[in-house]
Amino acid sequence: MVKNKVSIKQYSTKKKSEKNSNGIKLIMFDYDGTLMDTFTLTCHIYNEIFRQFRIDKSFTKRQFQELFESNWRNCLIKFDLVKEEQWDKAMEIYITITKDFEEEIRCYPYVMEMIPLLHKKYKLAIISNGDKEIIVSRLKKYNLLQYFDYISGNDEGEKPSPEPLIKCMQKLKITPEQAVYVGDMDGDIAAGKAAQVNKVVAVTYGYHHHSKLQDADFVIDVPEKLLDVLTKSI
């Protein structure tokens, strides 16, 4: 556990000469469950999928945490939804519910303050299995888009494959030793490890319970703890 928590104010006033003193040049983030709180939205989506496919299921939060995987198709396979047309219908449900609940989606606390500060010292990227257009739209809404040097969605490879992380590092001319990946699911950890990034940081406030995140190099409970990790531990 990292002690002596670094505040956002303290981090923002650190000397310019300390920039990248730890050798890290790139921080790659997952999106859903890491930067943006979409967990309740996703629960709504799966409840509607259950209803339309006549699946008699009612899940608690913890049960949803056990169900969700980085690759959403694997979730559907658990309910014998294995055909391409079933996946297409599930995607239509996803798009419809997302539009209906768009106004309920928020950044996690401190994310809006933290991202501009990190951008002063590091390149920032988003590596998501979600829809890139939706991600870009929400980042614009919260005035965060300009801080990201690279954004990839599900059209550029899907985690737990390391491919989208590797593409990002190649595009930004960053070596794995110079990169950190931050995510909220075991699939994120697997992708980061396979991409051989310097460190993988898992967050417990997203889609997966703490018990599924033990293979990460660091586990944090709130977004601002990432400042501690970057400042003192890497």
Binned at pLDDT 50, 70 and 90, residue 193 comes out as very high
Least confident of 75-79, 98-102, 119-123, 157-161: 98-102
What is residue 181's predicted lDDT score, i.e. its pLDDT? 98
The pairing of strands 179-183 and 36-37 is unpaired
pLDDT at 158 over 50: yes
Which CATH number among 3.10.105.10, 1.10.240.10, 2.130.10.10, 3.40.50.1000 corresponds to the domain 8-37+106-233?
Answer: 3.40.50.1000
pLDDT at 2 over 90: no
For residues 91-120, give the mean pLDDT.
Answer: 94
pLDDT at 183 over 80: yes
pLDDT at 8 over 90: no
Question: H-helix or E-strand containing 190?
Answer: helix 186-194
What is residue 234's predicted lDDT score, i.e. its pLDDT? 61
Q: Determine whether 61 is exposed, middle or buried from the number of CB atoms within 10 Å of its CB (0-12, 13-18, 19+).
A: exposed
Domain residue extents for the chain: 8-37+106-233, 39-104
Q: Determine whether 77 is exposed, middle or buried from the number of CB atoms within 10 Å of its CB (0-12, 13-18, 19+).
A: middle
